């Protein structure tokens, strides 16, 4: 097994603190303790809590981008691209709702740290412009997937597992239908 770098291990520790203890307990001291490093060692890589949060968000967005690409595979057709976005939002086994909820809480007071998230979503929606699909309907599909994911992240979804599964299948079918429909 490959050991993560010191920096990666510190980010892993920050994720553990965030998911297990909450955003209010995410401090440089708590992360150093969880990572079993000195505070000075942590400060070498992350001189401020903002720097730590920025690195956490950047890593989360990089992983999301990688998962989208992996889900899409080599396919460049509209159906594959739309389905990949729905699947990575709603069917990704690696997605950690607690981590996402913790980051939402931590970022609430740090608007400057939201840029990587905005860029990620801008990229997703700009990908639609290159597709021969109805732009508005495709945007609604991605927004629906994001909305359901956010409801689940915040643990406020009213849907049973069966209802959720049916919604996801409907979204995937909609992706196929949008890809096959002539654009007017």
The span from the CA of 85 to the CA of 91, in Å, is 10
What pLDDT does residue 184 have?
A: 62
What pLDDT does residue 2 have?
A: 38
What pLDDT, in 10s, does the model give residues 144-177?
Answer: 999 999 999 888 999 999 999 999 999 999 999 9
What pLDDT, in 10s, does the model give residues 61-118?
Answer: 888 888 888 887 776 788 888 998 898 888 887 778 888 888 887 777 777 778 888 8
Say yes or no to pLDDT of 181 above 80: no
Return the percentage of the chain with pLDDT > 90, whole number: 42
Mean local confidence (pLDDT), 31-49:
93
* All structural domains of the chain: 1-47 (1.10.10.60), 57-180 (1.10.357)
Say yes or no to pLDDT of 3 above 60: no
Residue 16 has a CB neighbour count (10 Å cut-off) of 15
Mean local confidence (pLDDT), 5-33:
90
The span from the CA of 143 to the CA of 53, in Å, is 25
What token pair was written down for 38?
Answer: 């000195």
* pTM reported for the whole predicted model: 0.81
The span from the CA of 180 to the CA of 56, in Å, is 38
What pLDDT does residue 4 have?
A: 55
Q: Is the dihedral of CA 136, 152, 92, 169 positive or negative?
A: negative
């Amino acid at each position: 097994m490959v050991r993560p770098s010191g920096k990666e291990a510190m980010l892993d520790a920050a994720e553990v603190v965030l998911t297990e203890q909450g955003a209010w307990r995410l401090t440089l001291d708590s992360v150093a303790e969880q990572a079993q490093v000195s505070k000075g060692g942590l400060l070498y890589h992350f001189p401020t809590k903002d720097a730590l949060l920025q690195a956490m968000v950047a890593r989360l967005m990089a992983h999301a981008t990688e998962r989208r690409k992996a889900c899409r595979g080599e396919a460049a057709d509209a159906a594959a691209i739309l389905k990949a976005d729905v699947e990575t939002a709603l069917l990704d086994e690696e997605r950690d709702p607690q981590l996402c909820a913790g980051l939402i809480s931590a970022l609430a007071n740090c608007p400057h740290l939201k840029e990587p998230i905005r860029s990620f979503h801008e990229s997703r929606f700009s990908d639609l412009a290159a597709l021969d699909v109805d732009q508005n309907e495709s945007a609604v599909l991605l927004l629906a997937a994001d909305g359901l994911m956010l409801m689940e992240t915040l643990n406020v979804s009213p849907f049973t597992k069966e209802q959720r599964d049916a919604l996801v299948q409907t979204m995937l079918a909609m992706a196929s239908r949008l890809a096959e429909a002539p654009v007017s």
